[in-house]
Amino acid sequence: MGISRRQFLQGGALAGAALALSGTPGEASADSPDLRTKGTKVTTTVCPFCSVGCGLIVHTKDGKVINTEGDPQHPINQGSLCPKGGALFQIANNDKRLQKVMYRAPGSDKWEEKSWDWALDRIALRMKETRDKTFRKTELNKKDNKEYVVNRTDGMAFFGGAGLDNEECYLWSKFARAMGVGQLEHQARL
């Protein structure tokens, strides 16, 4: 006297239901988000991958990101994330991510480790040199043979990224204009 396939499946379903109901109501399982993020600092931010601007909730503990998820209160994504946004946790917690400034001198075949102070000073110096070398106060218009004030540099261009929110984009463009850069573009437009 064997059991039929139907009886086997019914028994399995009953056993699964009994296991699911065996815990006390309201008890959190080990995979519960409430238990996983208990005692963490919660910060909201914007996904850096594209120009949509999906909202994220980031949980940190002792300065380390331990969880990222979509923000259900955010008007754009209402908690949902694309595959790249869903995998954002790996950006913060990846042992292959560069943590230091790496510099390769012109003509060299070796990378050197440099400090952030050195890199930022070098970037500022190179920007200043380029601006001084390529800055134009006036430009001659060939149609009417008049000189016009332009105050710009053609030696630099600024390219923004979608990880910037509106306020950061505003400051970025103000900085670029103050430098005299007329060639501004943003990744979201390309």
Strand residues in 62-133 grouped as ranges (E): 64-70, 101-103, 112-114
**Are 111 and 104 a contacting pair, CB within 8 Å?**
yes
> Is there a domain that residue 163 lies in?
no
pTM score: 0.57
Q: What share of the chain in percent tops pLDDT 90?
A: 24
pLDDT, greater one: 146 or 118: 118
Give 113's pLDDT tier (boundaries 50, 70, 90): very high
Q: What is the mean pLDDT of the chain?
A: 83
Give 146's pLDDT tier (boundaries 50, 70, 90): confident
Neighbouring C-beta atoms of residue 190, cutoff 10 Å: 7
CA distance 175 to 69: 33
Q: Give per-residue pLDDT as tens, 22-77.
A: 655 555 555 555 666 777 889 898 887 777 888 999 888 888 888 888 999 999 88
> Is there a domain that residue 128 lies in?
no
Query: Which range is most confident: 9-13, 108-112, 143-147?
Result: 108-112
Structural domain containing residue 89: 41-93
Give 168's pLDDT tier (boundaries 50, 70, 90): confident
Give the three-state DSSP class for 41: strand
> Is there a domain that residue 85 lies in?
yes
User: Number of folded domains in the chain?
Assistant: 1
Q: Which of 103, 97, 131, 126 is nearest to 116 (CA)?
A: 103
> Is there a domain that residue 63 lies in?
yes
Q: Which of 36, 34, 18, 17 is nearest to 26 (CA)?
A: 34
The CATH number for 79's domain is: 3.30.200.210
User: Is the pLDDT confidence value at 162 over 80?
Assistant: no
Q: What is the pLDDT of residue 151?
A: 86
Half-sphere exposure of 171 (CA within 13 A, CB side): 4
> Is there a domain that residue 67 lies in?
yes
List the single range of 96-110, 135-149, 156-170 with lowest mean pLDDT: 156-170
pLDDT, greater one: 42 or 161: 42
Average pLDDT over residues 80-96: 84
> Is there a domain that residue 158 lies in?
no
